[in-house]
Amino acid sequence: MLQYNVTIDCQPTCLLEQAKLCPRLVLSDNVKALFRRAKAHVGAWNPQEAKKDFLRVVQIDKTLDKAVQKELKILANMENEKDAEDKEKLKGKLFT
């Protein structure tokens, strides 16, 4: 089966486009492509899609569990920071 190896350039301006492009390029259980697509989803702020791809990577290759756990921890921290930032922005604006 033909598998594509896509190098994702992690420039913030094109992460969303790369994340959209990757579903067509991940034709099989290509761990490298899934990991890269997950990283693109993180950069494009699609945390749910990123988590799905990271978890799929671990299902396919258990040896990458440590790397995936590290990325999931980073993503969780990013989500917590975003939640705190959003909460601060909305503080005093609702129900006043």
Residue 90 confidence class, pLDDT cut points 50, 70, 90:
confident
pLDDT at 35 over 80: yes
pLDDT of residue 5: 46
pLDDT of residue 9: 47
Between the CA of residue 10 and those of 18, 43, 59, what are the distances in Å?
9, 8, 25
pLDDT of residue 76: 97
pLDDT per residue as tens digits for the range 41-58: 999 999 999 999 999 999
pLDDT of residue 24: 54
pLDDT of residue 92: 76
CATH 3.10.129.10 is held by the domain 12-90: no
Between the CA of residue 64 and those of 21, 30, 57, 60, what are the distances in Å?
24, 13, 7, 9
Q: What is the arithmetic mean of pLDDT over 53-70?
A: 95
d(CA 82, CA 68) in angstroms, rounded, equals: 21
pLDDT at 68 over 60: yes
